[in-house]
């Protein structure tokens, strides 16, 4: 099977590409910067240079493929790279190219909490709008809403591990009771591959790990895996919201934005978890995954 992939140079994409290749599929990746995709080309992946606003590149990407896996997303807006431009218009353009090319399957990565309603963040609203485009496209499709993804390239988890190693305390936003359900990257990648292979996998699927953890428990697990579990200091939410509002002015350099804080507090549990029930994957426990890359000798 020939599978086209967007976001192939990112955290999730590189694992999806590797999983597809291991399962005997041919992979074609869209990359804005071919230098960043060189590691994929070295693995036998075909690289199409371009981006989601480049119609000619999308046509080359989709030509002759059996399935498209769409992973591109942003968590902070920067210049023309707005949530609407990337999540909504980018998805619209890719769907058009896929329909024109006669693609048989479209697999789309959304997010837990995606909804288009008052109070939702722009990130969640545009993720929901993209889901609607996929659902209304006429293409057989699967939409994934993963929880927090755990893996070696997770910058937020590595940052928290460094805090445990080098800071005497670790700050926690609010009471630390909001739920998380982190899922191992390889389990997510396998779910994407299985969805591409199974034409009867149609609908919206939440992906989470085997445990629902409070944010306090999430942080303590990272500390144990890093070998430096620290005391947690709870910071009042009012103060954190004020700080995050100031951080919003920093753009991509912000340690956390107001929207990211809201999404964290809302939680990311997946009560309708499809990892095991739909895809038959035995999910890796959070702390076991952490130990694989935060154990002795890691940085």
* CA distances for 286 relative to 4, 117, 214, 258, angstroms: 30, 31, 12, 26
Q: Give the count of domains, the chain.
A: 1
**Is 234 inside any structural domain?**
no
Decide: 95 and 139 in contact? Cβ < 8 Å: yes
Structure tokens at 286: 């959070």
Q: Is residue 27 part of a domain?
A: yes
Residue 214 lies in a domain: no
In this prediction, residue 250 carries a pLDDT of 78
Q: How far apart are CA 190 and CA 20, in angstroms?
A: 8
Instruction: Please report the pLDDT score of residue 187 as a whole number.
Output: 99
Residue 10 lies in a domain: yes
Residues spanned by the domain of 76:
2-150+182-209+269-283
Supply the pLDDT for residue 257. Answer: 87
Q: Which CATH number does the domain housing residue 104 bear? A: 3.40.50.720
Radius of gyration of the chain (CA): 19
* Residue labelled with tokens 């480049």: 54
| 274 closest CA partner among 197, 175, 204 | 204
How many whole angstroms separate alpha carbon 260 and alpha carbon 46? 34
- Interhelix angle 237-247/258-266, rounded to 10 degrees, is 140
| pTM, full prediction | 0.95
> For the residues of 88-119, what is the DSSP string, one character each?
IIHHHHHHHHHHHHT-SEEEEE--TT---STT
β-pairing, 141-146 vs 213-214, is unpaired
291 in a structural domain: no
Tens of pLDDT along 75-111? 988 889 999 999 999 999 999 999 999 999 999 999 9
Residue 298 Cα to chain centre, angstroms: 23
Q: Is residue 243 part of a domain?
A: no
Residue 228, in any domain of the structure: no
Residue 164 covered by a domain = no
Q: Which residues of the chain have pLDDT under 50?
A: none
In three-state secondary structure terms, 204 is strand
């Amino acid at each position: 099977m020939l599978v086209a992939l967007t976001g192939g140079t990112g955290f999730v994409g590189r694992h999806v590409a590797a999983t597809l290749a291991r399962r005997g599929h041919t992979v074609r990746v869209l990359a804005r910067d071919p230098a960043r995709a060189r590691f994929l080309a070295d693995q036998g992946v075909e690289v199409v240079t371009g981006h989601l606003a480049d119609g000619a590149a999308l046509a080359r990407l989709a030509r002759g493929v059996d399935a498209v896996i769409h992973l591109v997303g942003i968590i902070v807006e920067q210049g023309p790279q707005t949530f609407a431009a990337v999540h909504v218009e980018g998805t619209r353009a890719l769907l058009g190219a896929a329909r024109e090319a006669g693609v048989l399957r479209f697999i789309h990565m959304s997010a837990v909490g995606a909804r288009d309603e008052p109070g939702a963040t722009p990130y969640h609203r545009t993720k929901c709008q993209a889901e609607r485009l996929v659902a209304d496209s006429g293409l057989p499709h699967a939409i994934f809403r993963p929880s927090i993804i755990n893996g070696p390239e997770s910058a937020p988890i590595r940052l928290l591990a460094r805090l445990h190693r080098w800071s005497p305390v670790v700050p926690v936003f609010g009471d630390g009771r909001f739920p998380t359900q982190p899922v191992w990257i390889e389990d997510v990648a396998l779910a994407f591959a299985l969805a591409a292979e199974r034409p009867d996998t149609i609908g919206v699927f939440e992906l989470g790990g085997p445990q629902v953890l409070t944010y306090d428990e999430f942080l303590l697990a990272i500390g144990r895996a890093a070998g430096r579990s620290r005391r947690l200091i709870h910071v009042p939410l009012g103060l954190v919201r004020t700080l995050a509002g100031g951080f919003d002015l920093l753009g991509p350099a912000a340690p956390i934005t107001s929207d990211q804080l809201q999404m964290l507090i809302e939680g990311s549990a997946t009560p309708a978890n499809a990892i095991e029930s739909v895809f038959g994957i035995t999910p890796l426990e959070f702390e076991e995954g952490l130990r694989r890359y935060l154990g002795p000798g890691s940085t």
